[in-house]
């Protein structure tokens, strides 16, 4: 009896298992991408829990009890999702699928040859943010000085400007929210470098291109610095900065919706006290003094469009007396009075698939220099140079997205210059007027996440030159592996001769051709860049002396610059230390301006090295910052003029190597205090802490027989200051940014 019951149960179980097994169907197959199996692809029946993940070879298999019409889904974040309709009956199914790469703005390779970006954009490579600039020892919070720690930028101390890859300082142009910034630096006199006019805290990011830059920008033979201002302040705040050099104060007001804001600030600077505390290499008859004020507002409309305005006004004065190199003259006297006002307006609005950018900037600049000599306590040979300029820029760009990583843009730009120079020793004043109209178009082409290209063209017409130019641009990027990418850039770039060199002779555009090749590795906390470049110059101006000033007589000059650069930044290897190292090698020759032969430029060094390191010690509430700069000795030349005003090389030599170690520390007294009403930073900075005796060049007497070195204003400079913000607690930002 028991045997019979057991046999019945076994028979029932076998029947049930047969029915169950017959109800299940196995779905299997292989998933390929470009003919090869792909792992980790999710394969599921839509709206069910049935599915599997592909193995190393792209194979998958899973059982299902579902019947009838179903949809099989193949998905992975890196690929376009595929849906295949299938019919499940009683037989096993074999389904294969080929995938396409998912194009993503975040994953797509970025063209970076010749450029270093630092902004809040997802695609940017954040290398030098505003807080990086403030905490770079020796930079003194100046954008241009911090950029001198990057590859390709020369360490120049005797004059303002960014000297990039064998180019002069005037070959770099500056832009704010897409608009040209004329007179980016303050008014100055020869031998003393002026500072940036625009405050670093105005900007949320920047793109520095040392070559091969976008067709949306022009009139720069070497490089461009594109600054992007913040959209809205974080909240209402009041700022105060005090030091023995200056006092600044300002406020920002923003509504809760962050749709309207305005702010104003003012500052006064006077080095009179500091000249009594620190030994300067200059004898000031009037210590550098300046006053400046600025105003800004921002408005966002209901459709997300943003209107931004920034305006500033500043004045500065300086007086110097130096021992003369001329016979029967004891001293040379120089006095400067400068005035400047700058206004920048920009508007950005999306219209469906289109993005419209409109902007305009205006600059008025006045520089009045009084020159004289002193002999036996009497002033002789008075002369004045009065330069006034009005500069207008306006620009419109329309961009349309084609897909997630492709776009096309086109625009028009107009620049107007009106500059007058009155030299009292010259018979008549000189006046220069020019209007430059530019048209440009450019497309970003994303072929895949691993391959992209940028093709553009720019054309310009200048009234002063009376002809059009045509400048094609091309760049591409390819991802070699997960962390390694490569980029290539080529372009033709034109620039008018400087306004001061225009005379009665017809002139042409100066021309440079850029070739840039880069490989880059980016991993968490680390970045490595190796870049090689070649730059060919044509149609550079040649000058001679006419009516007491150098004037361009033709465009027969030429030259080249070639070399390679290495950049390494590491925030991970050494605990709590952020550091970067940059090295540049440059080989260059030029025959331009007053050069009578091809020479290595006097403003360039063959070897340049920078090391920057930062560490924040939370328990001490203090950030420690260190930087070291080295440059091999630059050449110097003395050119004399013959009876016809033509130049010839009279004497040449080589300066000693440049070297400077800079140190700064930042103390945050409010760190750790709950409900603090202010954010305070106390700063101590020492430039050239070891007191290296650096020389920037030599000045020569009129006959070239006597000379004296051009020295820094101070061999070692010490700064102490307090920066207080009421309303915003940026303590955590300070720690995160290694302040």
Query: How confident is the model over 526-551, as pLDDT tens digits?
Result: 889 999 999 999 999 999 988 778 89
**Residue 90's pLDDT band (boundaries 50, 70, 90)?**
confident
Q: 66: closest CA among 16, 26, 15, 14? A: 26
**Residue 20's pLDDT band (boundaries 50, 70, 90)?**
very low
- Between 257 and 113, residue with greater pLDDT: 257
Query: How confident is the model over 228-241, as pLDDT tens digits?
Result: 888 888 888 899 99
How far, in Å, CA of 565 to CA of 707, rounded? 35
Query: How confident is the model over 612-629, as pLDDT tens digits?
Result: 999 988 888 898 999 999
Match 């200051």 to its residue by tokens.
Answer: 721
pLDDT recorded at residue 134? 84
Q: 707: closest CA among 374, 323, 333? A: 323
**Residue 728's pLDDT band (boundaries 50, 70, 90)?**
low
pLDDT recorded at residue 13? 40
Q: 658: closest CA among 694, 705, 609, 683? A: 694
* Residue 450, pLDDT above cutoff 80: yes
pLDDT recorded at residue 314? 96
* Residue 174, pLDDT above cutoff 80: yes
Percent of the chain with pLDDT over 90: 60
* Residue 18, pLDDT above cutoff 50: no
Query: How confident is the model over 472-527, as pLDDT tens digits?
Result: 999 998 989 888 999 999 999 999 999 999 988 999 999 999 999 999 998 878 88
pLDDT recorded at residue 115? 52
Helix (H, G, I), strand (E, B) or coil at 2: helix
pLDDT recorded at residue 672? 64
pTM, rounded to two decimals: 0.84
> Average pLDDT for residues 183-192, to the nearest whole number?
89
How far, in Å, CA of 636 to CA of 695, rounded? 11
Residues recorded for the chain: 739
Q: What's the chain's average pLDDT? A: 87
Percent of the chain with pLDDT over 70: 91
Phi-psi region of 304 (alpha: psi -120 to 50; beta: other; left: phi over 0): left
**Residue 12's pLDDT band (boundaries 50, 70, 90)?**
very low
pLDDT recorded at residue 201? 83
> Average pLDDT for residues 595-604, to the nearest whole number?
96
pLDDT recorded at residue 674? 65
Match 């104060």 to its residue by tokens.
Answer: 249
* Residue 108, pLDDT above cutoff 70: no
Helix (H, G, I), strand (E, B) or coil at 393: strand
**What's the Cα-to-Cα distance from 7 to each of 2, 4, 14, 730, rounded to whole Å?**
9, 5, 11, 81
* Residue 269, pLDDT above cutoff 50: yes
The lowest-confidence range among 38-52, 504-518, 579-593 is 38-52
> Average pLDDT for residues 705-724, to the nearest whole number?
90
- Residue 487 contacts residue 450 (beta carbons within 8 Å): no
**Residue 7's pLDDT band (boundaries 50, 70, 90)?**
very low
Query: How confident is the model over 418-439, as pLDDT tens digits?
Result: 999 998 888 888 899 999 999 9
Rg (CA), the chain: 32
pLDDT recorded at residue 166? 94
Q: Which residues contact 9 (CB under 8 A, 6 or more apart)?
A: none
> Average pLDDT for residues 180-188, to the nearest whole number?
93
Q: 496: closest CA among 162, 89, 221, 205? A: 221
Handedness of CA 188, 193, 194, 198 (dihedral sign): positive
- Residue 633 contacts residue 654 (beta carbons within 8 Å): yes
């Amino acid at each position: 009896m028991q045997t019979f019951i057991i046999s019945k149960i076994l028979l029932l179980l076998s029947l049930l298992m047969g029915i169950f097994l017959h109800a299940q169907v196995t779905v299997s197959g292989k998933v390929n991408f470009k003919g090869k199996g792909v792992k980790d692809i999710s394969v599921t029946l839509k709206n069910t829990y049935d599915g599997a993940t592909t193995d190393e070879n792209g194979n998958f298999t899973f059982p299902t009890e579902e019947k009838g019409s179903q949809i099989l889904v193949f998905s992975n974040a890196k690929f376009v999702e595929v849906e295949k309709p299938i019919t499940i009956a009683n037989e096993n199914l074999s389904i294969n699928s080929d995938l396409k790469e998912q194009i993503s703005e975040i994953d797509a390779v970025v063209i970076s040859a010749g450029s270093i970006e630092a902004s809040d954009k997802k695609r940017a490579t954040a290398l030098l943010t505003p807080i990086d600039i403030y905490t770079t020892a020796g930079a003194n919070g100046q954008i241009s000085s911090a950029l001198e720690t990057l590859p390709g930028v020369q360490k120049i101390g005797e004059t303002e400007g960014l000297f990039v890859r064998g180019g002069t300082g005037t070959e770099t142009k500056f832009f704010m929210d897409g608009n040209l910034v004329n007179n980016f630096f303050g008014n100055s006199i020869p031998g003393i470098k002026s500072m940036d006019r625009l405050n670093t805290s105005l900007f949320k990011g920047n793109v520095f291109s040392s070559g091969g830059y976008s067709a949306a920008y022009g009139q720069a033979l070497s490089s461009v610095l594109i600054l992007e201002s913040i959209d809205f302040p974080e909240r209402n705040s009041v700022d105060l900065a005090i030091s023995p050099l200056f006092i600044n104060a300002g406020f920002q007001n923003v509504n809760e919706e962050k749709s309207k804001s305005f702010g104003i600030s003012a500052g006064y600077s006077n080095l009179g006290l500091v000249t009594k505390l620190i030994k300067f290499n200059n004898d000031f008859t009037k210590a550098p003094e300046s006053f400046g004020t600025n105003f800004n507002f921002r408005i966002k409309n209901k459709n997300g469009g943003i209107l931004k305005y920034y305006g500033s006004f500043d004045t500065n004065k300086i007086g110097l007396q130096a021992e003369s190199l001329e016979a029967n003259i004891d001293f040379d006297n120089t006095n400067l009075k400068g005035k400047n006002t700058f206004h920048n307006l920009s508007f950005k609005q999306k219209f469906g698939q289109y993005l419209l950018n409109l902007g305009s900037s205006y600059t008025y600049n006045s520089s009045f220099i009084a020159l004289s000599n002193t002999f036996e306590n009497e002033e002789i040979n008075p002369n004045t140079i009065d330069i006034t300029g009005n500069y207008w820029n306006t620009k419109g760009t329309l961009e349309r997205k084609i897909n997630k990583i492709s776009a096309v843009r086109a625009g028009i730009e107009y620049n107007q210059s009106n500059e007058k120079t009155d030299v009292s020793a010259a018979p008549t004043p000189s006046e220069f007027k020019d209007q430059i109209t530019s048209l440009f178009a450019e497309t970003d082409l994303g072929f895949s996440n691993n391959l992209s290209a940028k093709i553009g063209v720019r054309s310009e017409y200048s009234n002063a030159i009376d002809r059009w130019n045509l400048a094609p641009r091309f760049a591409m990027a390819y991802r070699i592996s997960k962390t390694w990418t490569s980029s290539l850039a080529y372009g033709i770039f034109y620039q008018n001769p400087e306004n001061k060199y225009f005379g009665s002779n017809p002139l042409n555009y100066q021309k440079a051709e850029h070739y840039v090749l880069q490989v880059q590795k980016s991993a968490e906390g680390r970045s490595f860049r190796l870049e090689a470049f070649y730059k060919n110059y044509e149609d550079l101006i040649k000058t001679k002396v006419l009516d007491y000033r150098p004037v361009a007589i033709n465009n027969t000059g030429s030259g080249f610059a070639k070399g390679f650069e290495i950049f390494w930044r590491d925030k991970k290897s050494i605990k709590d230390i952020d550091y970067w190292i940059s090295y540049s090698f440059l080989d260059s020759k030029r025959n331009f301006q007053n050069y009578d032969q091809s020479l290595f430029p006097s403003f360039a060094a063959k070897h340049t090295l920078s090391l920057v390191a930062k560490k924040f010690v939370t328990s001490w509430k203090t950030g420690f910052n260190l930087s070291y700069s080295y440059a091999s000795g630059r050449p110097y030349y003395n050119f004399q003029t013959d009876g016809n005003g033509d130049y010839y090389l009279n004497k040449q030599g080589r300066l000693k190597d440049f070297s400077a170690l800079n140190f700064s520390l930042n103390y945050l007294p409010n760190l750790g205090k709950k409900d603090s009403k202010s954010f305070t930073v106390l700063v101590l900075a020492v430039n050239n802490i070891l007191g290296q005796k650096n020389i920037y060049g030599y000045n020569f007497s009129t006959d070239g027989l006597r000379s004296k070195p051009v020295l820094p204003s101070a061999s070692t400079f010490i700064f102490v200051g307090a920066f207080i913000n009421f309303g915003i607690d940026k303590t955590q930002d300070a720690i995160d940014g290694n302040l």
